[in-house]
Amino acid sequence: MADRIDIRISGAGGQGVILSGIILAEASAIYDETNAVQTQAYGPEARGGASKSEVIISQKRVNYPKVIDLDVLVALNQESYDKYIGDLENGGTLIVDDSIKVSKEKKVKVYRLSLIAKAKEELGTKKVANILALGALAAVTDLISLTALEQVIPNRVPAGTEEINLKALKLGGKIVN
């Protein structure tokens, strides 16, 4: 892993991107024993407005908690893709829901995955698409282990949803292959 990896998970308010960032940072720092910092931003609209969670993972101390060079972008909706794709570095990794229209302007590794549709079809709810995205992130990068994510999810998701979220995590890893 590089000294510092900057990750942005983005989507609409209510899609769970803040929770995803918290889970990612906690799993990385506690169970994968890296240094991790998580920040978040969302519009004044509680639901539907643009939302992002940024996570920095590093083997060294993180001296600045904001994204400097975006290495990985996860976008769950078109608005967040359009807003943040310009920040993704050439050679970076893009994980997007397959409903998003992706331009060919950037030289990045693109993973167009049925995050929302698979969550709804196979698990009965699109509310776990954010956790599918974490499973996909673990599958396509070496930034986080699936085991670390599995340790954190039951303690962070709403009570009663632990099992479906763990299934979503595993499904996210499978849809990449």
18, 88, 94, 1: which is closest to 53 by C-alpha? 18
Rounded Cα distance between 177 and 161, Å, is: 26
Q: Supply the pTM of this predicted model.
A: 0.94
User: How many CB atoms sit inside 10 A of residue 65's CB?
Assistant: 11
User: How many CB atoms sit inside 10 A of residue 111's CB?
Assistant: 20
Which H/E stretch holds residue 138? helix 129-140
Q: Which domain holds residue 101?
A: 4-174
CATH code of residue 58 = 3.40.920.10
pLDDT tens series, the chain, 177 aa: 678 999 999 999 889 999 999 999 999 999 999 999 999 987 665 566 779 999 999 999 999 989 999 999 999 999 999 999 999 999 999 999 999 999 987 899 999 999 999 999 999 999 999 999 999 999 999 899 999 999 999 999 999 999 999 999 999 999 987
Structure tokens at 110: 């693109």
Number of domains making up the chain: 1
